Amino acid sequence: MQHSGSGRGFRQEVITNMAWRGCVMKWAQTQFIRSTNTTSRSPRPNPCNQLRCGFRREAKRTDSKKGNVTQETNVSPSEAGAPGPPPPPRVPRPTLFKPLMFTVGFTGCSFGAAAILQYETLKSRVQSAKDEEEAEKLLQGSQDMTYWHDWWNQLSGFQQQLILLMSMVDDFWSSLTEGQRTVTGIIAVNAVVLCCWRIPSMQRSMIKYFTSNPASKTRCIPMVLSSFSHYSIIHMMANMYVLWTFSSGIVSLLGKEQFLAVYLSAGVISTMVSYTCKTVTGRLHPSLGASGAVMAVLAAVCTKVPEAKLGILFLPMVTFTAGSALKALIAIDTAGLIVGWRLFDHAAHLGGALFGIWYVSYGHKLIWRKREPLVKMWHDMRSPGAGGSRPGSRPGVSGSDGPGPGPQ
């Protein structure tokens, strides 16, 4: 009995041990499955999967359309800590090849068009003089003052007032110098562009085409248009006052057509210098204004006539020579460029001033005096039946450098 009781106890103990072993094995299997599922859901793949398809996954992540930075790294989250913000995209440095080619091409076209315009102007002046002589011969003795008195009395009061107003405007226009009449058109264009800046629907187009920025997608056309663009009324008035003041001197020095070529070219060249300095320093901010072109006009006159006396508008008692004023302006712009002042585009100011100095010193001889082949070709195209000009003679312009005395 004791033996049989001990046998039953042994069997019960075996059964109990087997039950506990089954529970332990089932619990271990459950934990293993859970750990396996957790590992498969984790962002970090296991070594086998990483070895087998890790390169394929990495290639897919790097080819994403939006270029987002992946959050998976080779370091576990516990070791790397909280993920930081992605680094800002690196802005590539703009290339200046297209603006440089545009500057060279636009400058050449400006002087070529100016030479042709001067030829056409002189030709029309000669024709107008002939027509006036013929008209005077026809009107001599044919009509007296009685005819014009009767004609005036036949007009209405409004027509008479309109004719008087037109006569006053014509007298005022005739009283201006040729230089002042030339820059009047430039001032009018600047005033129109200033008004366009006040129209809200045009803001996007104005920023795109009338501000120069080397980081912009549109970089060539704004090199010209920004020279006629001012956002501030004070900025425009200051530039146009300086241009009006020096207009008579520069036009009498170069002539109307040559002045226009110098002014337009100076605007583009000063913007190119500004592009270069902005690209080198990394300060890619937009600029606008006619300061570069105006500085070229001022520098040209001050270089040619350095002894001329200048004054300040609101301080007439303060006078100084043109040469001293030019040196002071160049020194201020050079200091502003070195220090990094951002109130003005000092690089554009320096570019315009240096171009004006270079042109009246050397550029006139290198560019304007060598325009004869272009003018001769234009003359042959305009007058194909004339058979060209006499050998050794200049067509249309017999040896003159322009309407005014050019720099020698």
pLDDT at 289 over 50: yes
* Reported confidence tier of residue 140, pLDDT bands at 50, 70, 90: low
- Residue 344 or 46, more confident: 344
* Reported confidence tier of residue 283, pLDDT bands at 50, 70, 90: confident
Other beta carbons less than 10 A from residue 277's beta carbon: 18
What pLDDT does 312 receive? Answer: 81
Look-up: residue for tokens 């600047």? 190
Tokens linked to 308: 């001329």
Q: Return the amino acid letter for 381.
A: M
pLDDT at 11 over 90: no
What pLDDT does 169 receive? Answer: 92
Q: What is the mean pLDDT of the chain?
A: 78
- Residue 270 or 73, more confident: 270
Distance between CA atoms of 234 and 344, rounded to whole angstroms? 13
Highest mean pLDDT among 15-19, 61-65, 139-143, 375-379: 375-379
- Catalytic positions, written as ranges: 291, 349
Highest mean pLDDT among 46-55, 143-152, 307-316, 393-402: 307-316
What pLDDT does 133 receive? Answer: 74
Highest mean pLDDT among 1-5, 11-15, 157-161, 290-294: 290-294
pLDDT at 121 over 60: yes
* Reported confidence tier of residue 254, pLDDT bands at 50, 70, 90: very high
What pLDDT does 165 receive? Answer: 93
What pLDDT does 245 receive? Answer: 93
User: b vs e for 200-209, b when ≥16 Cβ sit within 10 Å of the residue's Cβ?
Assistant: eeeeeebeeb
pTM summary value: 0.71
pLDDT in tens, 38-92: 444 444 444 333 333 333 444 444 444 444 433 434 444 344 444 555 655 565 6
pLDDT at 345 over 70: yes
pLDDT at 3 over 90: no
Percent of the residues in the chain that have a pLDDT greater than 70, as a whole number: 69
What pLDDT does 389 receive? Answer: 47
pLDDT in tens, 185-225: 999 999 999 999 999 999 999 999 999 999 999 999 999 99
Distance between CA atoms of 279 and 357, rounded to whole angstroms? 25
Residue 254: CB partners within 8 Å, gap ≥ 6? Answer: 262, 300, 364, 402, 404, 406, 407
What pLDDT does 92 receive? Answer: 66
Distance between CA atoms of 214 and 97, rounded to whole angstroms? 11
Poorest-pLDDT segment among 21-25, 103-107, 108-112, 380-384: 21-25
* Reported confidence tier of residue 184, pLDDT bands at 50, 70, 90: very high
Q: How far is CA 85 from the centre of its chain?
A: 35
Mapping DSSP onto H, E and C, the string for the chain reads: CHHHHHHHHHHHHHHHHHHHHHHHHHHHHHHHHHHHHHHHHCCCCCHHHHHHHHHHHHHHHHCCCCCCCCCCCCCCHHHHCCCCCCCCCCCCCCCCHHHHHHHHHHHHHHHHHHHHHHHHHHHHHHHHHHHHHHHHHHHCCCCCHHHHHHHHHCCCHHHHHHHHHHHHHHHHHHHCCHHHHHHHHHHHHHHHHHHHCCCHHHHHHHHHHCCECCCCCCCCHHHHHHHHCCCCHHHHHHHHHHHHHHHHHHHHHHCHHHHHHHHHHHHHHHHHHHHHHHHHHCCCCCECCCHHHHHHHHHHHHHHCCCCEEEECCEEEEEEEHHHHHHHHHHHHHHHHHHCCCCCCHHHHHHHHHHHHHHHHHHHHHCHHHCHHHHHHHHHHHCHHHCCCCCCCCCCCCCCCCCCCCCC
pLDDT at 234 over 90: yes
pLDDT at 320 over 60: yes
Q: Counting Cβ atoms within 10 Å, is residue 196 exposed (0-12), middle (13-18) or buried (19+)? A: middle
What pLDDT does 259 receive? Answer: 96
pLDDT in tens, 366-401: 999 889 899 999 988 887 765 444 444 444 444 444
Other beta carbons less than 10 A from residue 364's beta carbon: 21
Q: Return the amino acid letter for 376.
A: K
Distance between CA atoms of 168 and 150, rounded to whole angstroms? 22
